[in-house]
């Protein structure tokens, strides 16, 4: 299930998103809460301290993650890697 909350500022979107994320995680559901607001405050709504919230790095500034994604894209795009994987797959018996 994916839920996106959008609309006018200051009407309680973050409060509701935070409440839903908290309730889902309390129920044991794997929950990812994404704050795409240019001035994010979901972390504070969820109860993180300002020090903890300040440690959160926006995805656009997370160079390590971006490089990892570019590596994966390069891996997927590389025909040589696909041929290698295919060769490995063919060399393994399907049933032991
Ligand atoms: N139902 C409510 N009753 C009282 N205060 C609220 C309610 N919903 C939100 N607020 C308060 O209003 C402010 C803006 O809410 P927020 O969820 O950040 O709005 P949005 O994300 O839509 O901009 C926050 O300080 C929040 O605590
Ligand atoms: Mg908000």
Are 13 and 51 found together in one domain?
Answer: yes
What is the pTM (predicted TM-score) of this model? Answer: 0.69
Of the residues 40, 56, 72, the one at which a domain ends: 56
Are 44 and 82 found together in one domain?
Answer: no
Are 49 and 74 found together in one domain?
Answer: no
Ligand 1 atom at shortest distance from the alpha carbon of 7: 22
- The verdict on the CB of residue 13 being under 6 Å from ligand 1 is yes
Are 88 and 44 found together in one domain?
Answer: no
Are 63 and 51 found together in one domain?
Answer: no
Which pLDDT tens digits describe the chain residue by residue (96 residues)? 777 777 788 899 999 999 999 999 999 999 998 888 888 899 999 999 999 999 988 888 888 888 888 888 887 888 877 777 777 777 766 554
Are 52 and 22 found together in one domain?
Answer: yes
Are 62 and 52 found together in one domain?
Answer: no
DSSP per position, the chain: -------STTSSHHHHHHHHHHHHHHTT---------SS--HHHHTT--HHHHHHPPPGGG-HHHHHHHHHHHHHHH-HHHHHHHHHHHHHS-S--
Structural domains counted in the chain: 2
Domain that holds residue 1: 1-56
What's the 82 CA to ligand 2 centre distance in angstroms?
43
Nearest by Cα to 20 from 4, 39, 40, 36: 4
């Amino acid at each position: 299930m994916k839920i996106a909350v959008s609309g006018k500022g200051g009407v309680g979107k973050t409060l509701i998103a935070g409440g839903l994320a908290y309730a889902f995680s309390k129920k044991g559901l794997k929950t990812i809460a994404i704050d795409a607001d240019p001035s994010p405050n979901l972390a504070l709504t969820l109860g993180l301290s300002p020090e903890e919230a300040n440690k959160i790095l926006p995805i656009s500034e997370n160079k390590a993650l971006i490089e990892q994604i570019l590596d994966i894209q390069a891996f997927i795009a590389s025909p040589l890697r696909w041929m290698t994987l295919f060769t490995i797959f063919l060399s393994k018996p399907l049933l032991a």
